[in-house]
């Protein structure tokens, strides 16, 4: 699975970069640079939508990104507070073969459904803080759980995963699906040269549908 870096999408809305460009604008620009279509929940979802972050390769090309739906999740140590959140995040990952880096000094792994599953699994963990977990231990817990999410994503035929059929652009498509005490994770392909990962909490995955985002303004 390919390793990518995160590009400024976690700056608070309304803040500015060092260059004086509003952070929200910089985030939209990152999505606009992608050479592949973005996916989000289809028109059946009528709640809030928001941009999150894009990920880039070493040469700066956009490789993946996330779009949120529902309540914006917050990292909380209060379990009761987390249960009140209702959100689903859709991760779009460009389908790419094994290839050399832009500077020719290395090789990038192919991106697959497993790549989408790992990004979704680690995304869910990033907005999770189990009750009773001491602040000083969260980094260790997060590293351990992220490694577990990687192993799970690398074996989509394993016991934690089940099959789920959901519409993508109106056509039923197979997805790999798993649940945990922190929420749910799913991953599949679109037939449109991208893979989809998704994660959520407080919203059922069984009634979701995905479609190409026609207007980023609905998320900005």
Q: Is the pLDDT of residue 173 over 70?
A: yes
Q: Is the pLDDT of residue 96 over 80?
A: no
Which of 88, 18, 94, 10 minimizes the C-alpha distance to 53? Answer: 10
Look up tokens 């290395």; give the residue: 106
Please, which residues have CB within 8 angstroms of residue 191's CB and are 6 or more apart in sequence? 168, 171, 173
Which of 45, 40, 53 minimizes the C-alpha distance to 7? Answer: 53
Q: Is the pLDDT of residue 93 over 80?
A: yes
Mean pLDDT (the chain, rounded): 82
> What is the layout of strands, in order, in the sheet containing 5-7?
5-7, 49-56, 62-70, 87-94, 194-201, 183-189, 171-180, 162-168, 210-212, 39-41
pLDDT in tens, 45-68: 999 999 999 998 877 889 999 999
Which of 199, 190, 205, 209 minimizes the C-alpha distance to 111? Answer: 190
Average pLDDT over residues 75-102: 72
d(CA 137, CA 125): 14
Label residue 21 by pLDDT band (50, 70, 90): very low
Q: In the chain, what is the straight-line distance between the N-terminal and C-terminal CA atoms, in Å?
A: 29
Label residue 79 by pLDDT band (50, 70, 90): very low
């Amino acid at each position: 699975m390919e390793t990518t870096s995160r590009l400024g999408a976690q700056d608070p809305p309304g803040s500015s970069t060092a260059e004086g460009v509003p952070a929200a604008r910089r985030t939209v620009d990152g999505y606009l640079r992608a050479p592949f279509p973005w996916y989000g929940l289809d028109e059946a979802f009528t709640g809030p939508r928001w941009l999150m972050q894009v990920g880039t390769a070493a040469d700066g090309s956009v490789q993946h990104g996330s779009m949120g739906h529902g309540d914006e999740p917050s990292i909380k140590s209060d379990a009761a507070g987390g249960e009140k959140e209702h959100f689903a995040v859709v991760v779009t990952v460009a389908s790419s073969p094994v290839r050399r880096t832009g500077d020719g000094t290395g090789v990038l792994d192919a991106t697959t459904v497993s790549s989408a599953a790992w990004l979704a699994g680690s995304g869910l963990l990033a907005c999770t803080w189990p009750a009773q977990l001491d602040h000083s231990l969260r980094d260790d817990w997060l590293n351990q759980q992220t490694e577990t999410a990687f192993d799970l994503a690398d074996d989509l035929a394993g016991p934690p995963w089940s099959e789920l059929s959901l519409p993508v652009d109106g056509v039923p498509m197979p997805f790999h699906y798993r649940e945990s005490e922190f929420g749910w994770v799913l991953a599949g392909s679109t037939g449109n040269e991208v893979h989809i990962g998704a994660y959520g909490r407080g919203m059922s995955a069984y009634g979701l549908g995905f479609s190409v985002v026609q207007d980023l303004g609905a998320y900005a």
